[in-house]
Amino acid sequence: MTHKYDLIVIGSGPAGQRSALQAAKAGKKVAIIEDYPDVGGGCVHFGTLPSKSFRESVYRWSMGSKGALGQAIDEIDVTEQAAKGTQAAPPSALPDMKRLLRRKDWVVRNEASVVKHQLKRNKIEIFHGRGVLVGPHEVEIHSEQGQEKITGEFIFIATGSRPVAPPHIHVDGKRILDSNNVLDLDRLPNSMIILGAGIIGAEYASMFSMAGTHVTMIDRRDKILGSVDQEIAQHLMDRFSDQGMKLYLESDVKKVTVQKNKKGEERVNVELSNGNSLEADVVLVALGRNGNTDGLGLETVGLQADERGLLKVNRYYQTEVKNIYAIGDVVGAPALASTSMEQGRIACCHALDLETGECGLPGGVHPYGIYTIPELSMIGETEEQLKERGVEYISGRAFYRELARGQIVGDQWGMLKLLVDHKTQKLLGVHIVGDSAADLIHIGQAVMDLNGDVFYFVRTVFNYPTLAEAYKTAAFNIYNQLQKSQ
Ligand SMILES: Cc1cc2nc3c(=O)[nH]c(=O)nc-3n(C[C@H](O)[C@H](O)[C@H](O)COP(=O)(O)OP(=O)(O)OC[C@H]3O[C@@H](n4cnc5c(N)ncnc54)[C@H](O)[C@@H]3O)c2cc1C
Q: How much is the pLDDT for 64?
A: 74
Between residues 90 and 315, which one has the greater pLDDT?
315
Question: Quick check: 75 pLDDT over 60?
Answer: no
pTM confidence score: 0.93
> Which of 50-54, 286-290, 352-356, 440-444 has the least mean pLDDT?
352-356
Average pLDDT rounded to a whole number, residues 115-122: 98
Average pLDDT rounded to a whole number, residues 404-412: 91
Question: Quick check: 88 pLDDT over 60?
Answer: no
Q: Which of 125, 329, 330, 379 to mutate to test the pocket of ligand 1 (most atoms within 8 A of CB)?
A: 329
Reduce the DSSP state of residue 164 to 3 states and report it. coil
The alpha carbon of 337 and the centre of ligand 1 are apart by a number of angstroms equal to 7
**Ligand 1 contacts CB of residue 200 (under 6 A):** yes
CB 369 within 8 A of CB 375: yes
Q: What is the CA radius of gyration of the chain?
A: 24
Give 223's pLDDT tier (boundaries 50, 70, 90).
Answer: confident
Average pLDDT rounded to a whole number, residues 189-217: 96
Helix (H) or strand (E) holding 177: strand 176-178
Question: Quick check: 68 pLDDT over 60?
Answer: no
Question: Quick check: 179 pLDDT over 80?
Answer: yes
What confidence tens digit (pLDDT) does each residue in 231-245 have? 999 999 999 998 899
Q: At what angle do helices 469-485 and 437-449 cross, to 10 degrees?
A: 50
Q: How much is the pLDDT for 62?
A: 86
Whole-angstrom distance, CA of residue 339 vs CA of residue 54:
22
Between vectors from CA 359 to CA 356 and to CA 360, what angle results, nearest 5°? Answer: 155
What confidence tens digit (pLDDT) does each residue in 374-395 have? 999 999 999 999 999 999 999 9
**Ligand 1 contacts CB of residue 179 (under 6 A):** yes
Question: Quick check: 72 pLDDT over 70?
Answer: no
Q: Whose CA is nearest to atom 17 of ligand 1?
A: 43
**Backbone angles phi and psi of 444, in degrees to 5:** -65, -40
E strands, 108-237, where?
125-128, 130-135, 138-143, 146-157, 161-163, 176-178, 191-195, 214-218
Average pLDDT rounded to a whole number, residues 286-311: 98
Half-sphere exposure of 233 (CA within 13 A, CB side): 16
Give 486's pLDDT tier (boundaries 50, 70, 90).
Answer: confident
Question: Quick check: 85 pLDDT over 50?
Answer: no
Q: Whose CA is nearest to atom 21 of ligand 1?
A: 43
Q: How much is the pLDDT for 357?
A: 57
> Which of 139-153, 225-239, 263-277, 360-374 has the least mean pLDDT?
360-374
Q: How much is the pLDDT for 80?
A: 43
Question: Quick check: 71 pLDDT over 60?
Answer: no
CA distances from 377 to 44, 203, 343, 416 (A): 21, 12, 21, 10
Q: How much is the pLDDT for 439?
A: 98
- CA max distance for the chain: 76
**Ligand 1 contacts CB of residue 296 (under 6 A):** yes
Torsion-angle region of 334 (φ positive above 0: left; ψ -120 to 50: alpha; else: beta): alpha
Average pLDDT rounded to a whole number, residues 325-349: 96
**Ligand 1 contacts CB of residue 338 (under 6 A):** yes
Whole-angstrom distance, CA of residue 290 vs CA of residue 165:
10
Q: Mean pLDDT in the chain?
A: 91
Q: How much is the pLDDT for 2?
A: 63
Q: What percent of the chain has pLDDT over 90?
A: 85
Q: How much is the pLDDT for 94?
A: 73
Q: How much is the pLDDT for 445?
A: 95
Atom of ligand 1 nearest to the CA of 36: 47
